[in-house]
Structure 1
Amino acid sequence: MTGVPAGPTIADIARAAEVSTATVSHALNGTGRVADATRRRVREVATGLGYGAPRAPRTRTLGLAVTTFAGSSWNYVAVTYFSRWLTAATSAAHARGYALTTLPAERGAEALWHTLAVDGMLLLDSPEGDPVLRALRARGIPVVFDGRPAAPRPGDTWVDNDHAATTREVLGHLAAAGARRIALHGGFGSEYYTHAVTRTYEEWCAERGRPVLPVRFEPDDADGRAFDRVFAGGEADAVYSLYDPGGRQVLAAAARHGLAVPADLLVVCASEDPAYETAGVPVTTVTLNPELTAEAAVAALVERIEHDPARPGRPFRSGGLTVPSALLVRASSRPRPEGRAGGHAGKDTRPRA
């Protein structure tokens, strides 16, 4: 174990409270013109960071937060990927003698980011400008990411899949099954996953002269209204959906437009939800193997926490650790009968020269 680290500095408090060092100095010393709310917030942050007091001993506790939409009211535990990740991470932490605390995403939880007593944090889907990450860095708390951070620093550690390779595998599979106009159902989050898949999709389409057909995912679009344009006009004969509910939205939209799956429309969804396997038409899914990711992330975080600089032969892992994903092919993307083009029955949807 490492020795007790030095306490936070004025600069640490300024970063965590998102004010200047001068404001921190005035707030702590009762000088200058500082709004009461700002003075109170700075002092609360300073107290939470342990300013002016000995740093607390190790807690043998890890924290976990999903920060893509931190501050919004959503229950990420209800998403199968995250629920499986949490279960595996809890088991991995316990096996190493650590407790695991899960942070809510709802508004009002922001104070926890500045005051939570943990030895290290697991951040899932950290977006650009992540306020949780900013607060943790200011406090000097070790962090390991699920998903490459938007702006990684030297020494950062993350666990992720090879999203470019997976995307090319999915698109190649759909093309081999007869798809010619593949829509990408995504563009909702600002985390690395969404950007990596979208960039690869656009490159793949450009390389083959295929149309780029983005369809924006919306969590509450149960009827799949976002697909009305591409389905009504026969623009898309296949869909790759990037988020767990997306497959159900695609199927709902296809039913409204009279499209049969897979005869008229091929479907692949990135999801861990077992219900896709038992759907009326079993849906092809991409699994990102959350259990493997969670185990690797917890192991890396514990290594980082327990790293002893005096033992150079045992450095902690930094950089990206890759976990394999897998394409689970089911009926929704089986090859079409010879000569059958996707789209509405009786409508010529073959691509024009």
Structure 2
Amino acid sequence: MARERILPGVSKVTIADVARAAEVSTATVSNVLNGTGRVSEPTRARVKAVAGALGYGPAGGGARTLGLAVTAHGESAWDFASVPYFAQAISAATIAAHRRGYALMAMPSGPAEHMWRTLPAAGVVLVDSPPSDPVVRLLRARGLPLVFDGRPGELRARETWVDTDHEAMTRRVLEHLAGQGAERIALIAGPTREYYTRASVTAYRRWCSSGGVRPCVVPFAEDGLAGPRLDALLTGDGRPDAVFGLYDPCGRQVLEAAARCGLSVPDDLMVVCSSEDPAYGRTAPPVSTVSLAPEQAGAAAVDALVSLVEKPPHTPPPVVIETRLEVRASSMRRSRRHT
């Protein structure tokens, strides 16, 4: 029979093991480690001592280690660290953790379930967590404090979130494009279901409804699959005269599709995308981008997580971070630039 692979030095202790050893219920263990509920001081001290001896939770071997995970694509393995937003957020989170005296582990995408059950961390930052995220369920079962980069569907004790105002960001981009003369703005969004995508699509549909404009939402596709989909969009009846893409590759994909279809950017088609990649300032033409402030988000998430770990049952309030629209030639019509 094949053996389950366990990381060196990582305990397989569960909350149930702590409960049995301390002769209490799992609910009592959770209350003690979360700083919630009514538990007598002798029982609280015994549970903490047992958890520490077994190496479970914040009292155990992960007391000065924090975890970070990007779970938008579930169990699918993907190289999120090569995306500028995540790379900058992880870097800022690592710096913030080190300043507070903690190590930070950035988990790979799609790790096996046992890795989450045994992750030696005092708490975890979850980036782009989708609804019904199985990782959230596993970490909650362990009683770990959580900070979400992106608003979750629900918050429990010792959980909070950090996020940008995606609705305001979407409206700002749409109003900028409309101010440059756009009448048919398409949105590239999904199929992922994290809060960022859902909130942006909702704001886009509301904006279209308020202006009596027919919405056009195009699912994002990786580079190998995006071409035919975008070509059909840009050559079909009622083609858009502007495109806003929610993800980093969208700007390049739309520029390439416009070139294939013989469209001039920005005269025939204006382009804006969300990205932290400075290379968009050097494309032909330079592409307007929205920054989601990953450095501020990563640092704020770690600061909130350390507060949850060190000051139970105190829960810091959610943090809303401002976005920034960098307007470049791709969304400035020549006729309007010269007026």
If the length of structure 1 is used for normalisation, what is the TM-score?
0.77
Amino acid at match of 1:8: I
Q: Report matched runs for 1:174-193 at 5 Å.
A: 174-193=177-196
Amino acid at match of 2:322: P
Matched with 2:323 is 325
Cα distance in 1 for residues equivalent to 2:298 and 2:177? 29
Matched with 2:45 is none
Q: Which has the higher helix share?
A: 2
Deviation at 1:335, TM superposition (A): 3.0
Deviation at 1:252, TM superposition (A): 1.1
Matched with 1:218 is 221
The reply to whether residue 149 of structure 1 matches residue 152 of structure 2 is yes
SS at match of 1:297: helix
1:97 to 97, 101, 107: 101
Amino acid at match of 1:258: G
Amino acid at match of 2:319: L
Matched with 1:335 is 333
Change (3 A) 1:130 1:51: farther
Q: Report matched runs for 1:290-309 at 5 Å.
A: 290-309=294-313
Matched with 1:316 is 315
The reply to whether residue 71 of structure 1 matches residue 96 of structure 2 is no
Matched with 1:345 is none
Maintained 8 Å contact 1:7/1:52: no
Change (3 A) 1:188 1:251: same
Cα distance in 1 for residues equivalent to 2:300 and 2:124? 14
Matched with 2:16 is 9
Structure 1 residues 234-273: Cα deviation after superposition (integer angstroms, max 9, x where no partner): 4200000001111111111111110110010000000111
Cα distance in 2 for residues equivalent to 1:150 and 1:220? 31
Maintained 8 Å contact 2:88/2:295: yes
Deviation at 1:78, TM superposition (A): 0.6
Deviation at 1:7, TM superposition (A): 7.2
SS at match of 2:15: coil
Amino acid at match of 1:330: R
2:274 to 270, 276, 299: 270
Aligned length: 291
Change (3 A) 1:192 1:142: same
Matched with 1:205 is 208
Deviation at 1:10, TM superposition (A): 7.9
Maintained 8 Å contact 1:144/1:158: yes
Q: What value does the CA root-mean-square deviation take over the aligned residues?
A: 2.4
Deviation at 1:151, TM superposition (A): 3.1
Cα distance in 2 for residues equivalent to 1:155 and 1:140? 9
Cα distance in 2 for residues equivalent to 1:57 and 1:252? 51
Matched with 2:4 is none
Deviation at 1:53, TM superposition (A): 4.2
Runs of 5+ unmatched residues, structure 2: 1-12, 21-25, 27-50
Cα distance in 2 for residues equivalent to 1:172 and 1:155? 38
Amino acid at match of 1:323: I
Maintained 8 Å contact 2:18/2:54: no
Maintained 8 Å contact 1:149/1:192: yes
1:261 to 260, 265, 268: 265
Deviation at 1:90, TM superposition (A): 0.5
SS at match of 2:72: coil
Cα distance in 1 for residues equivalent to 2:19 and 2:173? 45
Matched with 2:37 is none
SS at match of 1:224: helix
Deviation at 1:223, TM superposition (A): 5.2
Identical positions, percent: 49
Matched with 1:120 is 123
If the length of structure 2 is used for normalisation, what is the TM-score?
0.80
Maintained 8 Å contact 2:159/2:308: no
Cα distance in 1 for residues equivalent to 2:331 and 2:19? 52
Deviation at 1:337, TM superposition (A): 1.8
Change (3 A) 1:154 1:202: farther
Cα distance in 2 for residues equivalent to 1:91 and 1:51? 27
Amino acid at match of 1:290: P
Structure 1 residues 276-332: Cα deviation after superposition (integer angstroms, max 9, x where no partner): 1111110000000100001110000000000145xxxxx3303x2101101000000
Cα distance in 2 for residues equivalent to 1:140 and 1:74? 28
Structure 1 residues 113-140: Cα deviation after superposition (integer angstroms, max 9, x where no partner): 1111000101000001101111000000
Cα distance in 2 for residues equivalent to 1:11 and 1:263? 66
Deviation at 1:71, TM superposition (A): 1.4
Amino acid at match of 1:65: A
Cα distance in 1 for residues equivalent to 2:193 and 2:129? 8
Change (3 A) 1:115 1:301: same
